[in-house]
Chains A and B, each alone.
Chain A
């Protein structure tokens, strides 16, 4: 029996996030454990008149490739993938795993080589997304592995996931239209800010956002969603930050990261656990020591850390700052093979100053950003 919330999540992604229309080519990417949501998305896309197809991979194969493959095999991309990416109008990616730590012991340099090769394909995808030639949305189907990471039972975790997406309500699309409108207003307000100063435990960091565009993440690219983000000025970050939540990159956890920035670059990096891995990633390339993103998490249905960035970066009352590649649509120019979101919990005693004025305290903006008018129409988001 299908959980009605899975069907509603699929409908939400097809109707709201991707706005699939008749005749559009739609690929659903997942591993086998995401099968119930794959099927629900497929059905929703058929109902919408689109042309859906599935791309379902098997868990446990990537580690075999990384363990046994030559460099050439690890970096290989099947030629038809390049043709596919040109023909697709929309992709839904379901991030669901049976074991979130399966890659913990693989050689990181081989994994990095794999990711670098895949990035060529990703870059082309993002070019087409930026040019509004295609749409993309990433989501998650709850599994025991993700529940385990969150320290929850599967059924409690399912409640958490579907509630974060508002798939447990009857009309999630209407809810997300309201969220979109409020996030747009917040992004507009932040657009006039030149400099943010973030103050919290062991944290006093100044980030320049002058001339950059704030983007409302309203459920178009991720489901759940609920953040506003931009890419900071590359050479202006100064000060120190402590990330109280563990930072996870490709299944590896680094605890209690402390970074010191000078002229935009990380000049000192420490961690209570995983410091070597942290420094390996910082040395990945030239852009890996520079911030590519600064963002406010504003989804207050997400009230706890669950060791999954899709949710954690949206925890209402947090900020996240990502090392590595920046968003061109936000005006950022940093490039890197890395994009590592690290989350800073500001809910207890954090403060944020915008051009010297206190605008945020203890996890909330002090002033409501008022939407310009009524909720924005579909198709004008993002």
Chain B
């Protein structure tokens, strides 16, 4: 008997997030740890008339390549990867790590080489998604490794994950619909602004957003979701920012990142831990020193930091900004092999000003604005 929570999770992913229909080629990308959810999604896709294909990654394979592969092997992409990026109608990616730090010992320059070689495939995926040729959702299945990062037991972490997706509610889809309406109003209102200034401890940063599109995220690209984002004007970012939350990326963790921007570009970067990796990521290419995304986390069911970006960036009362590639649908133009979301907690002694006016204080927009 399948676990009802997995059935419900699968229904939301297949019916709501990606609207799978007859004849859709649906990739389910995950690891063996998510087996119960994968099976539930697989069945739901079959019942919806789609053609599911499971793609499991195995712990240790990336490390084997990154540690021992020659340059040509690092840069090679498989026919499977290329075929999938062109053929899939739907991709349901279920993160389920065995070890979130498994790549800590890898030379970051080799990781950068690996990432650069996959940029065109990733861009193709983003382009197809922006054109509506591909629906894709990224979600997470609770594992011991993620629970450990969150400093929770597996049972506590499972509750956290399911609550964050409103899966504990009778009708998760209408809960997402309601949040989606709020986020749409917020996005429309933000669309009228030219410049945002974020002020909190260690942070005073100005970001130009004039002419850019704000996108409300209601569980159709990430699950759980709950953010509005845009692509900032590439040359506009000025000032300094401190990311109070540790930043996991590509199988390792960087702590206490501080960045200073001039003319949109990072001109100073420090970190308490993982600074060499941070520098390598910033040096990846032309666009990796600029912001490709600026966003407000708006999911009030996510109230604690768990060390997993999918959740942390949705945390109600935070902003996040990504170094690197912009999403084309936001109007952002920055190109890079990198897209690294960094989260800044604004729940205490924080303010956001829009075109000089105070609009957000201590983790919430002021009432009556939108």
Contacts and interface: CB of A to CB of B under 8 A. Distances in A.
Nearest to A80: B83
Given A53-B80, A61-B39, A80-B86, A32 B51 contact: no
B42 A55 contact: no
Interface string A42-58: 11001101010111111
A32 B25 contact: no
A352 interface: no
A54 B58 contact: yes
B46 A73 contact: yes
Nearest to A88: B79
Contact of A54 (B49, B61, B83): B61
A58 B53 contact: no
Interface in A66-87: 68-70, 73, 76, 78-81, 83-84, 87
Given A68-B46, A70-B49, A76-B51, A32 B35 contact: yes
B87 interface: yes
Contacts of A23: 72
A38 interface: yes
Contacts of A59: 35
A295 to B, nearest CB: 34
B79 A57 contact: no
A56 B32 CA distance: 9
Contacts of A38: 58, 61
Given A64-B39, A80-B79, A80-B84, A46 B51 contact: no
A150 interface: no
A289 to B, nearest CB: 34
Contacts of A53: 78, 80-81
B79 A32 contact: no
Contacts of B87: 78-80
A60 B35 contact: yes
Contacts of B49: 70, 73
Interface in B131-185: none
A20 B225 CA distance: 45
Contact of B56 (A57, A84, A88): A57
A87 B54 CA distance: 21
B296 to A, nearest CB: 37
A35 interface: yes
Interface residues on B, range: 35 or more
Interface residues on A, range: 35 or more
Interface stretch (B63-71, B120-128, B269-277): B63-71
B38 interface: yes
Contacts of A46: 64-65, 68-69, 73
B60 interface: yes
A268 B114 CA distance: 61
A88 B80 CA distance: 10
A103 interface: no
Contact of B54 (A43, A58, A79): A58
Contact of A57 (B54, B59, B64): B54
B52 interface: yes
Nearest to B84: A80
B35 A49 contact: no
Contacts of A80: 79-80, 82-84, 86-87
A39 B39 contact: no
A329 B56 CA distance: 35
A330 interface: no
A65 interface: yes
Nearest to B83: A80
A206 B123 CA distance: 64
Given A25-B79, A78-B51, A43 B64 contact: yes
A64 B43 CA distance: 6
Contacts of B81: 53
A84 B54 contact: no
A61 B54 contact: yes
Nearest to A64: B43
A286 B177 CA distance: 57
Contact of B68 (A43, A55, A73): A43
A314 B73 CA distance: 37
A92 to B, nearest CB: 14
Interface in A1-39: 23, 25, 27, 32, 35, 38-39
A300 B279 CA distance: 59
Contacts of B50: 73
Nearest to B60: A39
Interface in A187-219: none
Contact of B25 (A56, A60, A78): A78
B53 A78 contact: yes
Given A49-B70, A51-B73, A51-B76, A32 B42 contact: no
Contacts of B80: 27, 53, 55, 80, 84
A83 B79 contact: yes
B2 to A, nearest CB: 10
Contact of B73 (A32, A49, A87, A88): A49
Contacts of A47: 68
Contacts of B59: 35
Q: Which 8 A-B pairs have the closest CB atoms?
A: A80-B83, A32-B32, A53-B78, A56-B56, A87-B79, A68-B46, A84-B79, A51-B76
Interface of A: 23, 25, 27, 32, 35, 38-39, 42-43, 46-47, 49, 51, 53-61, 64-65, 68-70, 73, 76, 78-81, 83-84, 87-88
7 contacts: A32-B35, A49-B73, A51-B76, A59-B35, A78-B83, A80-B80, A83-B79
Given A43-B68, A46-B69, 8 more contacts: A39-B60, A53-B81, A57-B54, A58-B42, A64-B43, A78-B83, A79-B25, A81-B83
